[in-house]
Amino acid sequence: MDKVVIFDTTLRDGEQAAGASLTPDEKMEIATQLDKLGVDIIEAGFPLNSREELEAIRQIANEVRRPTICALAHARPEAVDAAWEAVRNAQHPRIHVFLSSSEVHILHQLKKSRDEILQASRDMVARAKGYLDDVEFSPMDATRTEPDYLYQILEAVIDAGATTVNIPDTVGYTIPQEFCNLIDGIFKKVPNIDRAVVSVHCHNDLGLAVANSLATLDHGVRQIECTVNGIGERAGNASLEEIVMAIKTRNDLLKYTTDIDAPQISKTSRLVSDLTGMFVQPNKAIVGANAFRHESGIHQDGVLKERTTYEIMDPESVGLSETAFPLGKLSGRHAFRKRLEELGYDLEDAELHRAFAAFKDLAAKKRNLTDRDIEALVAEELRTVSETYHLEHVQVFCGDPGMPTATVRMTDPEGQILSDAAQGTGPVDAVYKAINRLIDVPNELIEFSVKSVTEGIDAIGEVTIRIESEGRRYAGRGAHTDVIVASARAYMNALNRLLSSKG
């Protein structure tokens, strides 16, 4: 078999990245895009965490039908039962059981004996198998586990019904040759290994997650666990886009295939960045802003003469296009809808109406519109569907000397107009204080960042913020040619998420 199964854990391990929490609706939106991307398995979450998490996974299982929907479970009865409750309605359900196996975890975290760990692993896989056929087991911190004990656990869980055994490099400790030796040992020393798919799950603490994952393919591994943009605990996980494009680009050496629709990669990357509030670094492989840019004169000369002199991938192969958007302020709704469809957006009439109005407003302010401008605009409009409060007007007075003063106007849930003004240390501070006077919800602004979507003095400014309330964090995002307006929209977006979570 030359197909590599792509197991996406953006919604589980990716969401564990500091500050990357997602609402149920946001998880559903990402899961829908992962389906379009073509991933084989979506690990939708950890149901035992909360009832809200369980219901979010259940919604994905009910509505996203093509891929396998997987739920993670501790090796405890209540966790396995919750996982089954979450995925039981999926077209293709999977339960993923895990338990630590390394000596350092057993001694200092679990405080159990090896025999107890072995028994719990076997029993919880059997419990999951009683619910469904597709069961995965992970011996956590496998790369720091004594090999003979690891072989013993794997043999036991396969006998108990595990159909996939995952070998996690939980703390990003291993290096490629060492990891391949471990995989070789598993295939040689686990007598029933032919009854299970062998998977790997690599973390990036030493920057080797992708290299470690790819290296194991020639040693029998056929499932790779990864996340969009490589997000996850600490330094993150193996990056889905890097795994897929390495296989696609170097198929002369990596003679494998995936079912990923590569032109969906950039859109998926932007969506995950948008909803998690985690920016993609400019020099990030495949999806970074600089991934297909050439600054050196020598490089520019080479690319102009023959693209392959300095580009090993076609930008369009991952869904990137810098072609100027061929519409303007005189363009009609039909042409606008057609271009959105070409970009992969299928909007309802009400959504199209809002997006078209925003497009006409943007086209009047910005002469040269690109696809990235339009995608930023549409994404921001779609984020406002379930608003509790709607921002109508922002006006700021500032300068040096002078006291920054902001006036804001908004509509409340009953449609009443609210307005107020405030002074601050700067224009954004004044805007946020004015909003807080109208929406009295205690919160703390813990992160604020701004970037331009495209180049030029008239570029759209994209603002991402995080606020914290009662121990939970909420991301907000706003886009506008005026960064003060974008900042206000981002704050309103975060506040609306906060209010929505409180029901």
pLDDT for residue 371 is more than 80: no
Q: How confident is the model at residue 1 (pLDDT cuts 50, 70, 90)?
A: low
Which tens digit of pLDDT belongs to each residue from 310-332? 889 988 899 886 554 567 777 78
pLDDT for residue 385 is more than 60: no
pLDDT at 382: 65
Which tens digit of pLDDT belongs to each residue from 187-212? 999 999 999 999 999 999 999 999 99
* Residues 33, 372: Cα–Cα separation, whole Å: 18
User: Which residue in 150, 127, 136, 48 sits closest to 98, CA to CA?
Assistant: 136
- CATH code of the region 5-276: 3.20.20.70
Q: Which of 135-144, 337-346, 389-398 has the highest mean pLDDT?
A: 135-144
Q: How confident is the model at residue 503 (pLDDT cuts 50, 70, 90)?
A: low
Are residues 364 and 329 in contact, defined by beta-carbon separation less than 8 angstroms? Answer: yes
User: Which residue in 41, 62, 399, 445 sits closest to 224, CA to CA?
Assistant: 41
* Residues 170, 488: Cα–Cα separation, whole Å: 40
Q: How confident is the model at residue 185 (pLDDT cuts 50, 70, 90)?
A: very high
Adjacency order of strands within the sheet including 444-452: 444-452, 461-469, 472-480
Q: Which residue matches tokens 């303007």?
A: 328
Q: How confident is the model at residue 295 (pLDDT cuts 50, 70, 90)?
A: low
List strand residue ranges (DSSP E) for 127-176, in order.
135-140, 164-169
Three-class DSSP category at 214: helix
Please return the burial class of 385, using the count of CB atoms within 10 Å of its CB with bins 0-12, 13-18 and 19+: exposed
User: For domain 390-501, is the CATH number 3.40.50.300?
Assistant: no
Are residues 247 and 257 in contact, defined by beta-carbon separation less than 8 angstroms? Answer: yes
Which tens digit of pLDDT belongs to each residue from 37-46? 999 999 999 9
Better-scored residue on pLDDT, 232 or 451: 232
Helices (H), 173-264: 176-189, 209-215, 240-249
